[in-house]
Chain A
Amino acid sequence: KAGVTQTPRYLIKTRGQQVTLSCSPISGHRSVSWYQQTPGQGLQFLFEYFSETQRNKGNFPGRFSGRQFSNSRSEMNVSTLELGDSALYLCASSPLRIQLNTEAFFGQGTRLTVV
């Protein structure tokens, strides 16, 4: 069974540009969550999607958005990039929602550098 796949693995963007990151969950998983990890702020929750609906959203500005498709694949978009958006972006999938005693499976992440 293939794991969680995030593309691209590495990305360099210029301040002011926008970027779209992709996450393909494990087959059969319906829940996808996104996280931003930086040395200063640690691992911060961005979004949670389940069955194409956003179930939770972290404390991030409106420049950060996401969506989930009918095949459970998810994308997140960051518009008007700032230097502080440089981070490792992690995606995690699970078969059900976490409250139902299920574990999360993480991808290897997308390393975004904003210059």
Chain B
Amino acid sequence: EAGVAQSPRYKIIEKRQSVAFWCNPISGHATLYWYQQILGQGPKLLIQFQNNGVVDDSQLPKDRFSAERLKGVDSTLKIQPAKLEDSAVYLCASSLFPGVGEQYFGPGTRLTVT
């Protein structure tokens, strides 16, 4: 079974530039999550989708971050404009149902903002 796919794996941008990350969850998983993991910290949930609807985006900095999952399958997370403190690994995860303990994570995108 194919796992969660993410691209790109690495990205380096200057502050104030924009960047987009892509995620393709495990086939059949209705729930998709985007997490931000800053070095030395645990993953922090940014947004959770159930099919193509947003379940929770309370921790998403909406002035600069946006995410969509238009067809209920793959998803895009965008940052515009980026700040230095956005440097982190952005992890996408999926699960069959919301709130289950077993979430399957992709390899992440490592973002460096200079």
The answer to whether A and B belong to the same complex is no
